[in-house]
Amino acid sequence: MPSQYWGSLAHLRDAEIPDYCIEQLIKAGGDKVQCVYSKGEKRELNVDAGEFSLFRTTANHGISLAVIKDQKKGSLSINKINQEDIDESVATVLTMAASSMPDEAYDISENQPAKSFSKGPTEPELEKMYNRMEEFMDFSGSTFPTTIIEQAIMDFSAGTSYYRNSNGVAFDETGGSYSFSAMFTSKEGEDTSSFNSAGFSSLDMDNPLHEGGSIKRLLKESAEHVRTKPVPKKFTGDIIVTPDCIMDFIGFFLGNISDYRLIAGTSLFRESIGEAITNGLLTLHSTPLSDDLSGGYFVTGDGYEAANATIIEQGILKTFLLSLYGSNKTGLKRGPNSGGSLIIDSGKTALNDIVKSVKQGVLLSRFSGGSPSDNGDFSGVAKNSFYIEDGEIQYPISETMVSGNIADMFHNIKDISEDNVNFGDEIFPWIHFGGITVS
Amino acid sequence: MIYKDLNQYSGHFSEYTELRLQENRNNRISMVNGDVMGNSVSSSSGVSSRVYKEGNWGFSSSPDLSDSAVEYVVRSASDNVRFMNDRNKMECGFILPDTCGHYEMDLTTQISRNSQKQWIDFLKDIDDYIQKKYPNLTSRTIVLAGLDMEKSLLTSSGSTSYSMTPRGIMYVSLSMENNGELVELMDVFGGLGQLEDHFLDPTQFYANIDSLADHLSRKADGVYTDAGMKDVILDADLAGILAHEAIGHTTEADLVLGGSVAREYMGRQVASELVTLIDYANSVEGKTCPVPVYIDDEGTPSEDTVIIKDGELKSFMHNKDSARHFETTPTGNARAYAFSDEPLIRMRNTAIKPGTNTLEEMIAAIDDGYYLMKSSNGQADSTSEFMFGVPLGYEIRGGKLGNAIKDTTISGVAFDVLKTIDMISSDMTWSAGGMCGKKQWIPVGMGGPAIKCQVNIGGR
């Protein structure tokens, strides 16, 4: 990167830029103000249609300002970091706040001890990234010759962000990580599988990419999915949801315990803290500080030091994921973090034994479904999935719908596998549900 | 405002090179039950360059728009392609098709710009109207969102373009409880243009809100659909998402190379003879489309891509690299969302060409089926198998509209569904806020006429 054109801010160190913004916002009349200054770089290798295609490097930086004046709030972000643009933005965001409507719920985080956090490397091993990609292409080509890698992306992103507010909060976060994703389809003559994708993140490039996340398993399943057929007839039975698509269902619970639905008054779980919202087999954590994950974060979006939390413990809802605004607005307790970095506790049964226990059902590897209705009703197509009968996986399926109610489904968890998958940002096991309509 | 003329930088080019300066500007205000939950503006600008040599691409971007930053990103993109060339020598000798065009398009509103206060007052007016007229609603959410995409492009082939393509939309979402069950419905208004081009007078939207509230009330008393294969009418919203998600994506040339089923179908009858499906570049019968593209982000003059003509699969959508592979000409479909994004093959405005029927004729032609009006989301894959959520629809019994239906889904294999189309309406409606995700999110136009066909509908 060439040297930045900071104008008269050129003498400032990175960490002093948000301090300058806070000072200007207060001078301009802000009652409570916050600023996040962030900068980062990405290096990315792309494979398209099975061939190396692109090496991409990007750099960016940005400032996000928020100001509360007379309990009215405005927010603004720019990526031009020079005095003229910052000063103009300070004036603009004050005007935006003055234009808005007052709300007693607006606030900023209270004073906390200043801290600096870091996780992961700040510079990539570029040669290793290329070699790992080449190794992955060789592996997939030789092991699964009918599978086309439609696109594969390997990137390394690193950056630093500085959070400041007028209550004296000062948090610095530096981090970097690798991430890999691949999208693929298998083809034999005119027979084509559904596409599938897989990915994971990591703090290093020490292991082959096909060993990460679910990559190898999903490549193998893709090759098996070239020829499929529907389930024999409509039935009510079991589904085993793989770690790859459990988020499609967990998302329903997270949506109902986060800001929008709780503020709008449409959450199903508004009165459910301390109550069972699933059966006792499920324990779900949000762990942004976990050493088991390559991802995570140290500071919440509203300026608090993040903490790990158990969201659902043996079926009991323990906490909402409310921001400071959401908490003030609803009168409910603020969440310990901003969500994400999810871990579902594994069970005690081997996946193979769970499959053996299924009389009739589906191993659901990808769910192509509409958003569930507000009460949790869902239906969608079982993609890249398998029909199970009498305890054995029978064949890959297509044109098969699964439907039910998510809230009910999680009261009908039959088992959770001891096996799990670490995607870097999440760790999920296989979950066995009963009472699902398959057609 | 970014530089329109980049010719001064052509001296930095040594290989096939694209240089793009871009700024995206957003304005977003959200109101929930009368409270302002979000009141924000943002802008993101920078310069990027992409260089092609020996079958590889190098790309670099910087948020700095200075002359030295431009020189830096061109040099850095060249370094990046050299990194690839040193390691990947599989594609030596490949040369991209040459295209050249010049176009300037500035769709900045001619109306004086509103202040943020005026927009908040606008939302407050609409919220007050809803609250007073429909006091029994559980929640009211209104979001106003403006996006300006301003780009300048110069390529080593000599193409130049400048565009300011704005989009202004408003979402209104209402929910109510009926017998302890929460029911929700949303509509989207606006489209091409800045917010001022669509939303000056809130009273103009009262009728739309009355219609939304009426549909919501009917849906609250709605019935479950009978699962199975049914005759249905897919209104413009759903016909558009079928054309985009289930057919359009399978005919993007990069996805064809990635294994989509469409490769084997080229030249074959894949739909009823009534069906002509086009990715329109910028206009239909003299009317500008929601996402007009005259020169794409590789500098290729954009043209309509006739994907299906009279039921026969005719063409894929191409960028320069896929056109080289298929030994054809680029179609002007290469687009990038942000300054730091490389152009990908993207649809622009994808729709089935209107037919000759009226909606009334189509309803009258169904004895037992459904009129499906809105889509909540949609997914499709390389086989053209699709699934769309349907949050609004009505039964058709004996050629007449009946009860509203509860949320449902439709699914099928798109190339099979297209063969069942036997009526197409003569009108054309674009959805207001189409966005497409494919590595990058980008605005797209989706819509079309209503179509009568058979699909698999979900039920309880």
A220 burial type by CB count under 10 A (0-12 exposed, 13-18 middle, 19+ buried): middle
Closest Cβ opposite residue A55 in set B37, B58, B175: B58
pLDDT at A382: 92
Contact B385 A60 (CB under 8 A): no
pLDDT single digits (tens) B168-221: 999 999 999 988 889 999 999 999 999 999 999 999 999 999 999 999 999 999
Task: Name beta bridge partners: A174.
Answer: A118, A160
Quote ipTM for the complex.
Answer: 0.94
pLDDT at residue number A184: 95
* Gap from B411 CA to chain A (nearest CA, Å): 8
- Determine the topology of domain A7-224 in CATH: PmbA/TldD fold (3.30.2290)
With a cut of 90, say whether residue A170 has pLDDT above it: yes
The verdict on a CB contact (< 8 Å) between A95 and B64 is no
- Select from A96, A103, A195 the Cβ nearest to the Cβ of B382: A195
Tokens for B408, please give them: 């449902």
Q: Please say if the pLDDT value at position B111 is more than 80.
A: yes
**Res A3: pLDDT:** 42
A58–B407 C-beta distance less than 8 A: no
What would the mean pLDDT of B79-85 be, rounded to a whole number? 96
CB B446 within 8 A of CB B351: yes
Chain segment B372-388, per-residue pLDDT in tens: 999 987 788 888 989 89
Q: Alpha-carbon distance B334 to A233, whole Å?
A: 44
Chain B hits for A61, Cβ within 8 Å: 63
How is residue B303 written in tokens? 């043209």
The verdict on A236 touching B (C-beta cutoff 8 Å) is no
Which letter, b or e, does each residue of A369-386 get, where b requires 16 or more Cβ atoms within 10 Å of its Cβ? bbbbbbbbbbbbbbbbbb
CB contact under 8 A, B63 and A60: yes
Query: Is residue B234 domain-resident?
Result: yes
- pLDDT attached to residue A5: 45
Element (H, E) at A380: strand A377-383
Degrees, nearest 5: CA angle B146-B148-B152? 175
pLDDT at residue B87 in the model:
92
Within a domain: B2: no
User: Can you tell me the distance from the alpha carbon of B159 to that of B151, in angstroms, rounded to the nearest whole number?
Assistant: 13
Is B296 part of any domain?
Answer: yes
pLDDT surpasses 90 at A8 = no
CA distances from B128 to A48, B34, B202 (A): 51, 8, 11
Mutate to test the interface with B, among A379, A398, A436 (most CBs of B within 10 A): A379
A55 touches chain B (CB under 8 A): yes
CB nearest to B387's CB, from A48, A54, A381? A381
Chain region(s) in chain A for CATH 3.30.2290.10: 7-224
Q: Would the CB atoms of A75 and B39 count as touching at under 8 Å?
A: yes
Looking at the structure, tell me whether residues B264 and B401 fall in a common domain: yes
d(CA A94, CA A77): 13
Dihedral sign of CA atoms A76, A325, A302, A11 in order: positive
pLDDT the model gives residue A2: 40
Closest approach of A49 to chain B, Cα-based (Å): 5
Same domain, B155 and B303: no
Per residue in A356-409, pLDDT (tens digit) is 999 999 999 999 887 788 888 888 889 999 999 999 999 999 878 898 999 999
In this predicted structure, the answer to whether residue A434 has a pLDDT above a threshold of 60 is yes
Q: Which two tokens stand for residue A245?
A: 């698509």
- The shortest C-alpha distance from A83 to chain B (Å) reads 14
Burial A298-308 (b: 16+ CB within 10 A, else e): bbbebbbbbee
Shortest Cα distance, chain A CAs vs residue B372, angstroms: 15
B130 membership: H or E segment, kind and range: helix B116-133
- In A258-287, the residues whose Cβ lies within 8 Å of chain B are 260, 263-266, 268
- Residue A281: pLDDT band (50, 70, 90) is very high
Q: How far apart are CA A256 and CA A263, in angstroms?
A: 10
Spell out the SS3 assignment of B373-442.
EECCCEEECCCCEEEEEECEEEEEECCEEEEEECCEEEEEEHHHHHHHCCEEECCCEECCCCEEEECEEE
Is there a single domain that holds both residue B311 and residue B202? Answer: no
Domain contains B1: no
User: Can you give the CATH number for the domain in which B183 is found?
Assistant: 3.30.2290.10
Q: Is A53 exposed, middle or buried (0-12, 13-18, 19+ CB in 10 A)?
A: buried
Mean pLDDT of A196-200: 96
Candidates B31, B174, B407, partner chain A, best to mutate (most A CBs within 10 A): B407
Residue A208, both tokens: 């082959």
Give the per-residue pLDDT at B181: 86
Chain CA centroid to CA B260, Å: 20
Q: Which of B379, B386, B408 to mutate: most A Cβ within 10 Å?
A: B379
CA distance B287 to chain A (A): 33
B128 neighbourhood in chain A, CB within 8 Å: none
Q: What are phi and psi of A74, to 5 degrees?
A: -135, 150
SS3 content of chain B, % helix, strand, coil (to 5): 25, 40, 35
Last residue of a domain, one of B157, B188, B220: B220
Q: Do B107 and B249 belong together in one domain?
A: no
Residue A8: burial class (beta carbons within 10 Å; 0-12, 13-18, 19+): exposed
- Are B32 and B84 contained in the same domain? yes
Chosen for mutation from B21, B26, B41, B171 (greatest number of chain A CBs closer than 10 Å) is: B41
Give domain status of residue B390, yes or no: yes
Q: Residues B258, B404: one domain?
A: yes
Does A92 contact chain B (CB < 8 Å)?
yes
pLDDT of residue A1: 44
**pLDDT at residue B1 in the model:** 75
B210 lies in the same domain as B238: no
Which residues of chain B neighbour A154 with C-beta distances below 8 Å? Answer: none
| Distance from chain centroid for Cα B301 | 20
Distances (CA, A) of B240 to A126, A379, B296: 43, 21, 22
Q: Which range marks the domain in which residue B233 is found?
A: 228-457
The C-alpha R_g of chain B, in whole angstroms, comes to 24
pLDDT-based confidence at residue A21 (cuts at 50, 70, 90): very high
- Spatial contact of A422 and A293, defined as CB atoms under 8 Å apart: yes
Q: Using a CB–CB cutoff of 8 Å, tell me whether A77 touches chain B.
A: yes
Question: What is the share, in percent, of chain A residues with pLDDT greater than 90?
Answer: 90
Q: Are residues B190 and B244 in the same domain?
A: no
Contact A65, A77 (CB under 8 A): yes
CA distance B229 to B73: 55
Counting the structural domains of chain B, the total is: 2
Looking at residue A379, its pLDDT comes to 85
Distance, in Å, from the CA atom of A164 to the CA atom of A15, rounded to the nearest integer, reads 9
Position B265 scores a pLDDT of 94
The single residue listed with the structure tokens 């998510």 is A406
- The residue among A64, A181, A195, A260 with the most chain B CBs within 10 A of its CB, best to mutate, is A195
Residues of A in contact with B264 (CB under 8 A): 190
What are the phi and psi torsion angles at B250 (to 5°)? Answer: -70, -15
Summarize pLDDT for B288-331 with one digit per residue, the tens. Answer: 999 999 999 999 999 999 999 999 999 999 999 999 999 999 99
Which chain B residue lies closest to A147 (C-alpha atoms)? B259
A343 membership: H or E segment, kind and range: strand A342-344
Which of A 336-395 lie inside 8 A of B, CB atoms?
368-371, 373-375, 377, 379-381, 383
Going across the sheet that includes B312-313, the strands are: B312-313, B305-309, B277-280, B349-352, B445-448, B429-430
Instruction: Give A403's contacts in chain B (Cβ within 8 Å).
Output: 458, 460
Nearest to A160 by CA among A216, A110, A122, A125: A122
pLDDT for A9: 66
| Residues B437, B345 share a domain | yes
Structure tokens at B443: 């605005």
**Residue at which a domain ends, from B201, B220, B239:** B220
Which chain B residues have a beta carbon less than 8 Å from that of A373?
A: 183-184, 406-407
In a domain, B332, yes or no: yes
Could you tell me if A151 lies within 8 Å of chain B, comparing CB atoms? yes
Nearest to A264 among B61, B68, B141 (CB): B141
In a domain, B42, yes or no: yes
Average pLDDT, stretch A14-23?
A: 94
Which pLDDT score, from 0 to 100, does residue A373 have? 81
- Per-residue pLDDT, averaged over B113-133, amounts to 97
Q: Is residue B159 a contact partner of residue B302, using CB atoms and an 8 Å limit?
A: no
Q: How far is CA B169 from the centre of its chain?
A: 13
The string of DSSP codes covering B84-103 is: HHHH--TTTT--PPP---EE
Chain A / chain B CB contacts < 8 angstroms: 247
Tell me if A77 and B91 make a contact (CB, 8 A cut-off). no
Strands B378-380 and B287-288: unpaired
CB contact under 8 A, B409 and A266: no
Report which DSSP code applies to B222. Answer: -
How high is the mean pLDDT of chain A? 94
pLDDT band for B3, please (50, 70, 90 cuts): confident
Chain B CB contacts of A60 below 8 Å: 44, 46, 61, 63, 340
> A124 and chain B: CB distance < 8 Å anywhere?
no
Q: Which of B39, B69, B83 sits opposite A74 (nearest CB)?
A: B39
Of B160, B193, B220, the residue that ends a domain is B220
Report yes or no: A405 and A369 within 8 Å, Cβ to Cβ. Answer: no
Q: What confidence score (pLDDT) does residue A437 get?
A: 92
Mean pLDDT over residues B93-99, rounded?
Answer: 87
Q: How far apart are CA A244 and CA B397, in angstroms?
A: 41
